[in-house]
Structure formats: C-alpha cells, structure tokens
Structure 1
Amino acid sequence: MFDLVPFGKRKDDAFGMLAKSLQDVFNDDFFAPLKSTTLSFRTDIRESENAYTIEAELPGFKKEDIDIDYNSPYLTIKAVRKEESSEEHQEHQVVRRERRYGEYVRRFYVQDIAEDGIRASLKDGLLTLEVPKKLKTPGRRIQIEDGGDAGRLQ
C-alpha cells in the first residue's frame, strides 16, 4: 500500500511512522488465514518471442494436488493441501502445528495463446508451465481498385 505522507514530511511525522508500523504488522502473513480462505503462492513469468514460461513455487505438493485450467482468457493454477490425519501416541502429542492447509490459487489473464500446446511439469516443488503464443499471420495489404465514379463526391 502506498504511503499518504508527502516525501518531505516523512522524517518529521512520528505519528505517521507509528501508524505505518501498525499497518505493516496487520498486513503480515501471520494474519493471512484470517483475511481469506484462499491463499496464494509466488510465481515468475518470462516471455520469449514464441511463448510464456510460468514458474510457480509449490513445495510439498504432489501433481495430483494441482489443477491447471485455461478458460479463455484466464489461466488458473489451483493447489489444494489436505490435512492428513495421523494418530499420535500419548508421549508424542502435537503441541503446536504451523503448517497451512487450504486452497492456493493464482489466475493469470493471457490472450492469444495456443491452448492445445500448454505443457506443465513439476520437479522439486517448482511447477513449470510452457504456454506457447499463437502464431501471428502477417497482415494483408488491400489494394484499392479504380472504380471510376464510385469514390467521387457529388
């Protein structure tokens, strides 16, 4: 979020700095489960002349847990982490569990792609999508014919 305090007054405005600090605390990922039931993940997107490459960090996910869907013009990656139930012995009780469970979703707006050519692979928690672009056909120059009186104003 952008600061609303002018650049010159930033150093002098102690109350503004305190308010920003509190805002940063409440924007921290610690509160992410309270903000939304849908979580996100980090991605890198590269573009070449013929394709886009999307790399998504999904550590701990198996390919069965990941769903990739293209419904023009949106490419959606969804990963669902399910809590595994396990029995604990009395001396090995879980005191605190810090793993997140839920649905992780990212949607990308992409146009002019060859949807039949999209390929995905998962290795060491990194999902890689190769999204080929549609081949562009060169434009066609349209010749103007001599039409006699057709183009003349009266």
Structure 2
Amino acid sequence: MRFMTNEIMDRPNDIMRNWFNDQWSNFPTFFGDNIPTTDTLKTDIKESDKNYELHVDMPAFDKKNIDINYQNNTLTISGHRDSFNDHEDKNGDMIMNERSGGRFTRQYHLPAVDENNINATYDNGVLKIILPKIEEKKNSEHHIEID
C-alpha cells in the first residue's frame, strides 16, 4: 500500500507551527534567539513499493548532534547546533543576522517500516534516510459457510 506524502507528514503540527511562526517569527524568544522553525528540516519524501526515502536539509549540523528514532510508526528527527558567532565585529556593524542555533525536531508518520533495517547517511548538510517497508501480507478472500 502506498501513501501520499501529504498524508505522511505531520500536518496538524505543521499547520499550528506555521501559523505561530507567521504570527510571531519576527519577535525574539525570551533568550534573544529567533529560531526559524519553518525554515529548518525541509524534507523531500519519496515512496516506492519497497521503501520510503527522505532527504532532510540540515546544514551546519554535526552528525553527532543528530538523533533519529523510529517508534509506533513515527520517525522523529531531532538535532541541535550552536549559534553562529563568526561574523560579530567589535564595532557592531552587523547589518543582518539570520542564522541561528538551537534544537530542532520534526516527525513523520511512516507506517509498516522494517525498523531493524533503516539506513541513514549525512553528507554535505543533507540527511538521507531509507526506511524499508515490511512486506504486506496479501489478504486472500476466505468464504465462510453458514451452518
């Protein structure tokens, strides 16, 4: 059985997260960092008869700071990165500072996955995850006689 990618993604959470970020994304958080969650962990999901394949943009992450978990048909990707301080100068001449650090998490509903054979690689800021599907048992019709 194949699922459309729109049904796979965590849509209710994305709707609330996008609304919240559209309304409040220009306001700094309590600690002064503005972490743009709508621009992080952008994902492409491809589905075939044999597996799901995700490509997740995670630029400037160290792979030791990325955590991947699959439980109850849900894939959770989380990670953290430090703030960027490489362009600060003594005179305060920063014109714009959009890059930020922090903790990021995203979940995807991906049913019928062989969790023992999930494979992940991280290269050039892109996390690639292949989730093999469990072979579905074909439901054969079984006629039952009434006594």
What band does the TM-score fall into relative to the shorter chain?
A: 0.5 to 0.7
Cα 1:57–1:94 shift into 2, 3 Å: farther
Secondary structure (helix, strand or coil) at the match of 2:26 reads helix
The runs of at least 4 aligned residues of structure 1 exceeding 4 Å deviation read none
Q: CA deviation at 1:144?
A: 3.6
Alignment partners' CA distance in 2, 1:38 and 1:85 = 17
Counting only pairs closer than 5 Å after superposition, residues 62-81 of structure 1 correspond to structure 2 as 62-81=62-81
Which letter does structure 2 place at the counterpart of 1:44? Answer: D
Identity of aligned residues (%): 27
Contact 1:38/1:105 (CA < 8 Å) preserved in 2?
no
Seen in structure 2, the aligned counterparts of structure 1 residues 75 and 38 have a Cα distance that, compared at 3 Å, is farther
Aligned length: 118
**Alpha-carbon distance in 2 for matches of 1:33, 1:143:** 64
Map of 1:44 onto structure 2: 44
Deviations 1:23-55 (A, max 9, x none): xxx838962754x86823210000011000000
> CA shift at 1:74, angstroms?
1.4
Decide which of 18, 23, 26 is 1:31's aligned counterpart: 26
1:110 CA drift (Å)? 1.5
Shift in Å, 1:94: 7.1
TM superposition score normalised by structure 2: 0.65
Partner in structure 2 of residue 137 of structure 1: 137
- The answer on whether the counterparts of 1:113 and 1:131 sit within 8 Å (CA) in structure 2 is yes
Q: CA RMSD in A?
A: 3.2
Question: What secondary structure, in the 3-state scheme, does the structure 2 residue paired with 1:105 have?
Answer: strand
CA separation of 1:107 and 1:143: change in aligned 2, threshold 3 A: same
Q: Quick check: 1:38–1:102 contact (8 Å CA) kept in 2?
A: no
- Residues 66 and 142 (structure 1), Cα distance of their counterparts in 2 relative to 1, 3 Å cut: same
SS in 2 for 1:135: coil
Task: Look at both structures and tell me which one has the larger radius of gyration over its CA atoms.
Answer: 1
> CA contact under 8 A between 2:25 and 2:36: conserved in structure 1?
no
SS of structure 1 residue aligned to 2:79: strand
Give how far 1:71 is off: 1.6
Which residue number corresponds to residue 90 of structure 2? 93
Residues 1:81 and 1:52: Cα distance change in structure 2 (over 3 Å): same
Q: Quote how far apart the aligned CAs of 1:84 are.
A: 7.2
Measure, in 1, the Cα distance between the counterparts of 2:91 and 2:25.
20
TM-score by length of 1: 0.63
Counterparts of 2:109 and 2:53, CA distance in 1: 14
Alignment gaps of 5+ in structure 2: 1-20
SS in 1 for 2:139: coil
